[in-house]
Amino acid sequence: MKTDSALKHDVSRELAWDARVNDTAIGVSARHGVVTLTGSVSSWAEKHAAEDAAHRVADVFDVANDITITPIWSTAPSDTDIAEAVRSALAWHRFVPHEQIHSTVANHGMVTLTGSVQTLAEREEAEHAIRNLQGVHCVINQIAIEPSSVAADALQAQIKQALVRHVAREADRIGVEIRGDTVVVSGPVGSWVERRAVVGAAKGTPGVKHVEDRLQIAAFDR
């Protein structure tokens, strides 16, 4: 377990490494594995990117994101403008079934997404599609994943098949455990790219609502 000062240092370094984040505008404090982020950024996307960066650091258990959003434009778009931009962004995203997704924009840039999709990957892509839109301060993702239930053995078989397609060399090393609508993936992978491929394979499988990533990057002989 890292000391508070070491954890603060590592989170600060991770923020500086992430090109999506202006680390000079963000303050970091750490206590017993809980990291608090403060400061001001220009968009919800940057606030979320800073949160993601903090969570990537080892020994960070929880993140309190107290970063405020201060738009850099002089005239903020109306909720109507934002709603139109959200619809266009969803419609133009080739991996999002936009006809199945609805949005509500209120309180000067708070976007709520509803509807249903087939996979967790589609649900996340819909949120990603609108994160960077001007005026969006918060995204509440309430999109449901259907089918609502899949037999555990069938789901595990689908994920194993996807792993063979995505990371054939690592498929035999990866453990897949089904816990209700949550998939737990574990075992060694050779790189961050392979780790993303494994998690992506699980997220892209119909019926998976949550993915718990217990993978570890390790060097081993091919």
Pair (141, 159) in one structural domain? no
In a domain, 165, yes or no: yes
pLDDT digits (tens, 9 = 90+) for 31-57: 988 999 999 888 888 888 899 899 888
Burial class (CB in 10 A: 0-12, 13-18, 19+), 152: middle
Q: What's the total number of domains in the chain?
A: 3
> By C-alpha distance, which of 177, 211, 178, 179 is closest to 195?
211
Per the model's pLDDT, the better-predicted residue between 71 and 5 turns out to be 5
CATH of the domain at 85: 3.30.1340
Pair (47, 83) in one structural domain? no
Structural domain that includes position 159: 152-217
Contact criterion met (CB below 8 Å) for 44 and 18: no
Mean pLDDT of the chain: 85
Burial class (CB in 10 A: 0-12, 13-18, 19+), 15: buried
Pair (31, 16) in one structural domain? yes
CATH of the domain at 199: 3.30.1340.30
pLDDT digits (tens, 9 = 90+) for 78-133: 899 999 999 999 999 888 999 999 999 998 889 999 999 988 999 999 998 998 88
In a domain, 119, yes or no: yes
Pair (65, 10) in one structural domain? yes
Pair (85, 39) in one structural domain? no
In a domain, 74, yes or no: no
- Within 8 A by CB and 6+ apart from 92, the residues are 129
Residue 131, pLDDT score? 85
Residue 198, pLDDT score? 82
In a domain, 33, yes or no: yes
Pair (83, 30) in one structural domain? no
**Average pLDDT estimate for 55-82:** 83
Residue 98, pLDDT score? 92
